[in-house]
Structure 1
Amino acid sequence: MSVGLAPGAAAQDIQSRQWYLKAMGADEIWKYSTGKGVKVAVIDSGVNSATSSLKGQVLADQVPTSVSYMATEDKDGHGTGMAELIAGTGSGGGVRGLAPGAKIVPFHVQSAGSADAKYQLKLTAPAEAIRAAADSDVKVINMSFSSPYPDSAEEDAIKYAASKGKLMFAAIGNGGAKGKAEYPAVYPYAVGVSAMDKSGTVAKFSTKSNYVDFAAPGVHIPGWCDGKFTQYCDTDGTSPATALASASAALVWSVHPDWTANQVLRTLIDTAGRSWAKDEPSTYLGYGIIRPRRVLIDKNIDPGPANRDPLYAENGTDADEDVTATPSLSAAPASGHPSKDAGSSSGATSAAAKDSGSGGNSQTWVIIGAAAAVLLIGGAGFAVLRARRNA
């Protein structure tokens, strides 16, 4: 929804609406890392590399020819918006990404619900794009899409990408408390992301699920209104939350290039904002609110074993299994196609407060207290609800 803002004329307006940058402590984060040296695959509706914020940020020449169709053409602005949230420079009044030093490798994949079947058939299947990204030197794969239908080829592709050391983030979906987590977030090795608002409250639209691993900002996020790229609008959903989680991983990996995907993910889990036991993740927030700043400022942080899966219980792997030994899986055509997620931002299920150990004035999030507790943050009261995974 919301009022469209023309990019050049309203630079200050657009960037002042990026509330999550201040909340996540971006100014302090960028003293440590901008994501430089890290490539992020954006598997979506294509990425328009000509927007002012993405000039020089999109590595279209690194997309394999077999999956490059329409890679830098985006008919609805979704993929471009995700890329800007990750690596936009903010130039020309555009959105500034959380990891503006990172680079984007774009993939344009098939999407459910399109009226143009012939056009969709020309596009790359998600499984093929994931495999292509797995065989490249990208470190993070962003999947801001969801589908209610499982796809064995897509699942195999994600397992293959995990065996290649990639870290993958996927939108959990916008079905709310009664919805079901969607694919690919359900698959092993896909890190599911839910959405929260500027108060640290999980959005009502964000799907409650055992497959939620992190929460990230996903309400009132600037994004392109459409594929004309003339205006930004407020957007809501687990899609932008996923993009910000991917950007968070890029920030950490840039500073610790020798870490594996397991180590990057483990440190993000260890530093996530929560008040419950780490081994009892929430169905709304997973392991908590993602806070890359806490990883970056800790010079003595322990990333743990390089080849041990920190989500072994969820992924069905053994705690001591070397995940890099996962066998390569043969390619197969995808049978299902994702639909980009959307959602409305009414309601909430839990709340967060300022990080008490920040060092500086930047605000980050820590989930507070017990069920039915009430916090006063900036004069407002927020109900807190500790929802946990089902046994």
Structure 2
Amino acid sequence: MTMPRRSTRPRRIAHAAAALAVAVGAVTSVPAASADPLDDGQWWRTAMGVDELNRAGKGSGITVALIDGPIDSSVPELEGRVASSTTACLAPGGGVRPSTVKGVLADHATSMASLIVGSGRGTARGGRGITGIAPEATLRHYAVTFGDPRDPEKLSCGLEDPSVNVVGDATAKAIRQAVTDGAKVISISLSTDYSNDYVPALLDAYRAGAIVVASTNNDTRQVRWPGLGNGVVTVTHVDAKGNLDDSATRRNNLVDFAAPGTAIATGTWTPSGWRSDGISDGSSQATAITAGGLAALWSAHPEATGNQVLQAARQAVGMRAEGGKYFTWFRRVGDDLPASTGKTESYGFGIVAPADAVKLDVDGLPLTNPMVADKGVVQPTAEEIAAVTPAAGAAPPASASPSASASPSGAQAPEPATDGSVDAAGEEGVGGGSGLVLLVVGLALLAVLGAAVALRLRTGGAKAARDGNTHDAGTDGIQDFDNTHGQAAATDGVAALTKEHSNGVDR
């Protein structure tokens, strides 16, 4: 069994400002790096138009469940903003583990919570801290991974025996509890092995109309559970130029959206206490920002269903027009932008842009989850999902493409790649809808190991991604992470190049 992983990496605070200067140098919509790491690490707020989004919705009335490790709800950003914190993980000495703690073991969950509901108060200069993308959402926290004080990256959770690690089971259990507690958006910045409980847990979420958002894995650049689940929103991460981070999943059609995840101010525990200006990278940050963005979007359209919110995010991914071509970007910049009609090679549908999605007639969008695959062997199946989806049979026709609007910041995008190597959408990954999951179950293996190997294929092609025990079939040996290559964007038949390469930031 592979160990569960949190999809984030800390940076040395002393290097944060210099590192971000490399990441944002050519993007005029993002303030230039300064001597203030907190300001620099919140570049994504300007890039995504979060202030504009929050004028429409701040998450009020939406419960967001954060499934992660233990949390420190006493940091200034989270004071009074965590409605509940629970865990089912057993402690070695008896009883359950504490779900709220101080110190490095609480780093990850505290950071993710701050990105979602952070108050803006903190320990940086002037008492400033991290401001969340959905600051008025109700946050409920569920701890399912606990690190060893001697090795915080070694994560585990025992449900019946503290010495038996079953983080997958614990995550599925937390999903079901979050649904019972009224969660509308479930944010999971973790990747685990398969659990038999994932399918019924996801069906519970879909029955309740909830959105489940999960991260990709930075260490392996692949997708594992729960991101492999059919209908789950799977997220990878980009830097301030819109380029994939060097640890991001590539050429993998399991990805649904990209979001900011490089050089992000998330806060961190140091020997002297909590520092709000701690900087880190990873799909964890992108997942929390995406989940919080969906909550803010939903709060602006409280009569919409979760699937309609996803339809809006799917239709209004960031895009900019330049020289008759269309490029992946953080906002929709330009006039008469085409609809996004499918998947790109590595960005999924594109960079999530809730500040533009909120402008759509969300209540009039289809009632089906656009992340669900309806062909092949899937977990859960499309039929199972349809059977539990509220009012799924009454889906209205798809709306017209989103109206375009220029970014209020007047963003100028980076130069496109010019190497000319344009791959048609779906050639390297697979174009089309959400993922297909092939579950290879050997009964004897289950009896001996108590594990299952999950294989999920994307509709319309042959590339695949497997769980954490193997590498992606679509990436093994074919991707040079130091080279730039052209990537086709899925717009109305128009191939657009998006620059994709390692960001080159010194860590």
TM-score, normalised with respect to structure 2: 0.60
**Closer, same or farther in 2 for the Cα pair 1:366/1:119, shift >3 Å?**
farther
Superimposed CA distance per residue, residues 216-241 of structure 1 (whole angstroms, 9 cap, x where no aligned partner) = 00100112334865234221111000
Larger Rg: 2
Query: What is residue 304 of structure 1 aligned with on the other side?
Result: 365
Superimposed CA distance per residue, residues 309-330 of structure 1 (whole angstroms, 9 cap, x where no aligned partner) = 222326652699454269xxxx
**Closer, same or farther in 2 for the Cα pair 1:305/1:370, shift >3 Å?**
farther
- Aligned to 2:349, which of 277, 287, 297? 287
**Closer, same or farther in 2 for the Cα pair 1:53/1:317, shift >3 Å?**
same
Q: Which amino acid aligns with 1:4?
A: I
Distance (Å, rounded) in 2 between the aligned partners of 1:259 and 1:364: 33
| Bigger share in strand | 2
**Closer, same or farther in 2 for the Cα pair 1:137/1:301, shift >3 Å?**
closer
Q: Does the Cα contact within 8 Å between 2:133 and 2:292 map onto a contact in 1?
A: yes
Q: How does 1:101-250 map to 2 (within 5 A)?
A: 101-110=136-145, 113-114=154-155, 118=162, 125-147=170-192, 149-175=193-219, 179-208=221-250, 209-226=252-269, 229-231=273-275, 232-250=277-295
Report deviation, 1:302: 5.8
Structure 2: runs of 5 or more not aligned: 1-9, 15-33, 91-95, 123-127, 147-152, 320-325, 327-337, 392-402, 423-483, 491-507
Distance (Å, rounded) in 1 between the aligned partners of 2:229 and 2:219: 18
Q: Does the Cα contact within 8 Å between 1:211 and 1:283 map onto a contact in 2?
A: no
Report deviation, 1:305: 3.0
Q: Does the Cα contact within 8 Å between 1:35 and 1:252 map onto a contact in 2?
A: yes
Superimposed CA distance per residue, residues 231-266 of structure 1 (whole angstroms, 9 cap, x where no aligned partner) = 342211110000000011111111111111110101
Q: Does the Cα contact within 8 Å between 1:99 and 1:248 map onto a contact in 2?
A: yes
Distance (Å, rounded) in 2 between the aligned partners of 1:240 and 1:363: 23
Q: Does the Cα contact within 8 Å between 1:278 and 1:287 map onto a contact in 2?
A: yes
1:4 aligns with 2:13: yes
Distance (Å, rounded) in 1 between the aligned partners of 2:188 and 2:489: 25
Find the residue that maps to 1:239 and give its secondary structure: helix
CA RMSD, Structure 1 to Structure 2 (Å) = 3.7
- Aligned to 2:118, which of 84, 88, 91? 88
Query: What is residue 149 of structure 2 aligned with on the other side?
Result: none
Q: How does 1:325-364 map to 2 (within 5 A)?
A: 357-358=405-406, 360-361=408-409, 363=411
**Closer, same or farther in 2 for the Cα pair 1:287/1:365, shift >3 Å?**
farther
Query: What is residue 343 of structure 1 aligned with on the other side?
Result: none
Query: What is residue 253 of structure 1 aligned with on the other side?
Result: 298
Q: Does the Cα contact within 8 Å between 2:72 and 2:106 map onto a contact in 1?
A: no
Q: Does the Cα contact within 8 Å between 1:268 and 1:292 map onto a contact in 2?
A: yes
Query: What is residue 386 of structure 1 aligned with on the other side?
Result: 488
Report deviation, 1:172: 1.5
- Aligned to 1:372, which of 411, 420, 442? 420
Q: Does the Cα contact within 8 Å between 2:81 and 2:117 map onto a contact in 1?
A: yes
Q: Does the Cα contact within 8 Å between 1:195 and 1:219 map onto a contact in 2?
A: yes
Q: Does the Cα contact within 8 Å between 2:100 and 2:106 map onto a contact in 1?
A: no
Distance (Å, rounded) in 1 between the aligned partners of 2:166 and 2:223: 28
Q: Does the Cα contact within 8 Å between 1:22 and 1:363 map onto a contact in 2?
A: no
Structure 1: runs of 5 or more not aligned: 327-354, 375-381
TM-score, normalised with respect to structure 1: 0.76
Distance (Å, rounded) in 2 between the aligned partners of 1:42 and 1:220: 21
The more displaced of 103-112 and 312-321 is 312-321
Report deviation, 1:365: 8.0
Query: What is residue 20 of structure 1 aligned with on the other side?
Result: 44
Distance (Å, rounded) in 2 between the aligned partners of 1:155 and 1:191: 15
Find the residue that maps to 1:156 and give its secondary structure: helix
Query: What is residue 341 of structure 1 aligned with on the other side?
Result: none
Q: Which amino acid aligns with 2:224?
A: E
Q: Does the Cα contact within 8 Å between 1:252 and 1:295 map onto a contact in 2?
A: yes
Query: What is residue 99 of structure 1 aligned with on the other side?
Result: 134
Q: Does the Cα contact within 8 Å between 1:172 and 1:207 map onto a contact in 2?
A: yes
Query: What is residue 346 of structure 1 aligned with on the other side?
Result: none
**Closer, same or farther in 2 for the Cα pair 1:362/1:302, shift >3 Å?**
farther
Q: How does 1:48-63 map to 2 (within 5 A)?
A: 48-60=72-84
